[in-house]
Amino acid sequence: MSHPRPDLVPDPDLSRAEMETLQREIASVAVFEDDFAFDPDAFSNPLESAATGTEPPVVAGVDQSFLTNEDGDQDRALSAVVAMQGGEVIERIHAVTPLEIPYIPGLLSFREGGPILAALEALSVDPDLFLFDGNGRIHFREAGIATHMGVVRDVPSIGVAKSLLCGTPQEDIDELPAGSRVPIEANSRVDAPDGTRIGYAVQTRQYDSPNRYINPLYVSSGHRVGPETAADVAHDLTSSYKLPEPVRLADQYADEAKKSSSR
DNA sequence: GCGACAG
DNA sequence: ATCTTGTCGC
């Protein structure tokens, strides 16, 4: 695996203005519509493709955790990748790299992109699709971490965020039933014409009857995956938890790897 | 100046 | 992201 666009790799040493300029370039290169060869419906029926003798597509979830030094300061980022095929985990890998910059809303990929790309280099299989923790097109400059990573590797990617960064839900997103979705449109804070559909609030899970509610996920196109397909896939990859399995397992693995690496 | 702000 | 037990509700 390599970087088709090494010139777009997130460089933490860039000035804030340069980072934003790079993001606009990434957004112009990104493809926010379906452009892949695998069958996206294979995720809802992991066994079906096996029955037809077809190789199920490989999906990888990516998530990060952070390590602290002796003084208690976060000085390293750990990126974990969990690759799955036909509903089974086929590979797990992680990488640790020093942290260069603090978290700044809108510039997440410049903080976590390094460890992610390092981990992807260490992966032996090459996934047909990536799911990242964070946004894709739901971003001020339409270039969230899922879009940035997807474009640098030129691989289909989807952003899965747990809270809304920007954009406007087209309907009330409280108390949504499981399986439902609400379009997220660009607002004045997004570098896209107002009303542009930049993603979906996806309710993958919901409590049965209580007076408590689970918040939806915010799913958006990273690269080469349209918003509808992104929402479909995020939903299809979900089983018993709110997060799609690849991301949930990467989240869990990132935590385990952090604990075992500090011992 | 005010408000908003993924992980 | 991270610090963290108990606790509310099915």
pLDDT digits (tens, 9 = 90+) for A168-223: 999 999 989 999 999 999 999 999 999 999 999 999 999 887 788 899 999 999 99
Cβ of residue A245 lies below 7 Å from strand B:
no
Q: pLDDT (tens digit, 9 = 90+) per residue, A95-127?
A: 999 999 999 999 999 999 999 999 999 999 999
Which of the 8 DSSP states describes residue A80?
E
Q: pLDDT (tens digit, 9 = 90+) per residue, A89-99?
A: 999 999 999 99
Q: In angstroms, rounded to a whole number, what is the distance separating the alpha carbons of residues A184 and A180?
A: 13
Which of the 8 DSSP states describes residue A206?
-
Q: pLDDT (tens digit, 9 = 90+) per residue, A42-67?
A: 998 665 555 667 899 999 999 999 99
Which residues, listed in sequence order, are joined to residue A221 by a DSSP beta bridge? A158
Examine the pLDDT at A263 and tell me if it is beyond 70. Answer: no
3-state DSSP assignment of residue A176: coil
* The CATH classification of domain A6-261, taken from the options 3.90.1150.10, 3.30.2170.10, 3.40.980.10, 3.40.50.2300: 3.30.2170.10
CA of residue A52 to C1' of nucleotide C1, angstroms = 42
Q: Which residues of A are annotated as a binding site for Mg(2+)?
A: 63, 133
Residues with CB under 7 A from strand C: A 64-66, 103, 133, 162, 208-212, 254-255, 258
Cβ of residue A101 lies below 7 Å from strand B:
no
User: A198 with A218: CB under 8 angstroms?
Assistant: no
Question: Which tokens sit at A112?
Answer: 């976590």
Q: Which residues of A are annotated as a binding site?
A: 63, 133
Q: Which nucleotide is nearest to A111 (CA to C1')?
A: B7
Q: Which nucleotide is nearest to A159 (CA to C1')?
A: B6
What is the model's pLDDT at position A41? 97
Q: Which nucleotide is nearest to A160 (CA to C1')?
A: B6
Q: Where are the domains of chain A?
A: 6-261
